[in-house]
Structure 1
């Protein structure tokens, strides 16, 4: 069962927090809503869950208009950042809660609770209380509870943000596995973490200032972003203010070869180049600057190079003798590795 937002607007006291959202999540698809705090992503999820009422527009689950239905009649599973487990109930009773509320027969409840706990790797903890579990285990229980009702739609609201980095990585793998085992379930995943979105999502909807900015596959948004905001929020990006010429662009007194198809000569634009595609030394599209900072990141060094007052990031394989702060350095990138952005013009210096 898919999800469809039809011009959904949500406002509080006249303040629009979600502005005319049109978005469709296909049956069985994982759609990530990615954006900064206040972008409208959680409001969109809550509109699907039934916790907020749109000021205008409609919400559909499949062909069913659920805009006016209360949450308990939508048949949705939901997992939130704080887990929301009942501390006085054992794990198995937490997982059974939604089934009991739906008056599922006791024998079936036992079967479905066991299935959900097995699926999330928590079968051995059925008799424990939440206080006896780690954060990652509590999150697994919350997911098991959502899955026990066998929802067609699963809503995940920043489900990993309370976990440390190692647990988050493990839970990402678990969520990916669950999706493979439940390919018919549509998932709407709210996050501000681009790694989570790139790892899990079939498509990413980028939100900012209550509006949908872009939507596409992770590869599309990463390799060919439509605007500067999307480029900077889906992966790291060098965003250089340039002027379009007849056969390329100019930046900091340098002529740069890049595809300018569709751009107007003389217009201002933004050139997007991912840091891992920037090399040092001789090569095409050379820019000369001064090393402002060097960060060792294990397998790579990240260089921050000051080029005419703009910081250019270069992620290069670990160097035996990396340049030092203040050293002159030349960076370069291939013409095919740069994307010219004419929408959302703006550079990051």
Structure 2
């Protein structure tokens, strides 16, 4: 392929401790792929292996058709934005953006035009003469992105680029990153985050990492609607994970028979039933569960109910209620059979 990223069984270890274990993963040309996972999952190590900041002990890293495993970072032609932006405080905005171009010995005649283009693309043209200390956090982030884009990379690496921003700025920058992706359709973007909202919003595909290994990979819709394991279900969106036993007509949960698609699972097998909270209703309906309200949270347009059902906490996100139930009230929940997903791989409950 002419662009993109490919991990070919890439393993990274420090002092014998494996922090990335035999990663096989491809980022297509022009694709945004989010590496999503908790701290220590291996996602940032994978990004650093692409950048050339860590050396795999096994496997190869490819950019397009080039094997870059042994190349130093400056020869990879990659744009990168890190958490704290790493702007040079003594340089003006335009000088920061020009830095990578000067390091690559681009002719002076070409630097000015590329800097202007990158600043215009990120909405920072008017701030070219300012110093980083004169900018807000969101503006500094835009400058860091402009600097990465100025070298016209085929690959852009984003390492938790929004983590230092407050919620409102983060939402706005997500929209800006989505716009940039539309304007740069040939640039492959590897986006590291622990924030599921960022991944669901921006990514074409999400690779879910945990304990140094890739656990699942697919489109946001696939991972949200049909997760393949408990970890993915719980990390990509909120999920009720109910320990069940497969029965002839569906599953059994705490002595209650629930109808759902079992996809050929053996009767008597233990499994986990995944139901998203917004698909759980309050009151009568199919697949009824009776329990006691343990907690209720008002979230503006919705109420989040936490209901104790046979010793398990079940979450239900229901439209705002005029007279919500109180702590200790008995309630009935329900969900449609087609809204549940049976997980049989990696079941760990007793």
**TM value normalised by structure 2:** 0.99
CA distance in 2 between partners of 1:305 and 1:346 (Å): 22
Residue by residue, what CA displacement relative to the aligned partner does 1:191-243 show, whole Å, maximum 9, x if unpaired? 00000000000000000000000000000000000000000000000000000
- Please list every run of 5 or more consecutive structure 2 residues that lacks an aligned counterpart in the other structure: none
CA distance in 2 between partners of 1:260 and 1:292 (Å): 30
State the match for 1:68 in structure 2.
70
- Please list every run of 5 or more consecutive structure 1 residues that lacks an aligned counterpart in the other structure: none
Q: How does 1:241-260 map to 2 (within 5 A)?
A: 241-260=243-262
2:137 to 132, 135, 138: 135
State the match for 2:340 in structure 1.
338
Q: How does 1:221-240 map to 2 (within 5 A)?
A: 221-240=223-242
Residue by residue, what CA displacement relative to the aligned partner does 1:12-70 show, whole Å, maximum 9, x if unpaired? 00000000000000000000000000000000000000000000000000010000000
What is the Cα-based RMSD across aligned positions, in Å? 0.8
**Contact kept? 1:241, 1:346, Cα under 8 Å:** no
Partner SS for 2:265? coil
CA distance in 2 between partners of 1:34 and 1:71 (Å): 23
Residue by residue, what CA displacement relative to the aligned partner does 1:171-205 show, whole Å, maximum 9, x if unpaired? 00000000000000000000000000000000000
Residue by residue, what CA displacement relative to the aligned partner does 1:225-280 show, whole Å, maximum 9, x if unpaired? 00000000000000000001111000011000000113111111000000000001
State the match for 2:44 in structure 1.
42
Aligned residues: 348
State the match for 2:310 in structure 1.
308
**TM value normalised by structure 1:** 0.99
2:170 to 146, 168, 171: 168
**Contact kept? 1:240, 1:347, Cα under 8 Å:** no
CA distance in 2 between partners of 1:233 and 1:93 (Å): 40
Partner SS for 2:264? coil
State the match for 1:270 in structure 2.
272
State the match for 2:81 in structure 1.
79
Q: How does 1:101-180 map to 2 (within 5 A)?
A: 101-180=103-182
Q: Does 1:286 align with 2:288?
A: yes
CA distance in 1 between partners of 2:10 and 2:346 (Å): 24
**Contact kept? 1:228, 1:346, Cα under 8 Å:** no
Residue by residue, what CA displacement relative to the aligned partner does 1:271-330 show, whole Å, maximum 9, x if unpaired? 000000000100000000000000000000000000011000000000000000000000
**Contact kept? 1:112, 1:148, Cα under 8 Å:** yes
- 1:347 deviates by 5.7
2:218 to 212, 216, 219: 216
Q: Which runs of at least 4 in structure 1 moved beyond 4 Å after TM superposition?
A: none
State the match for 1:54 in structure 2.
56
CA distance in 2 between partners of 1:297 and 1:344 (Å): 33
**Contact kept? 1:40, 1:208, Cα under 8 Å:** yes
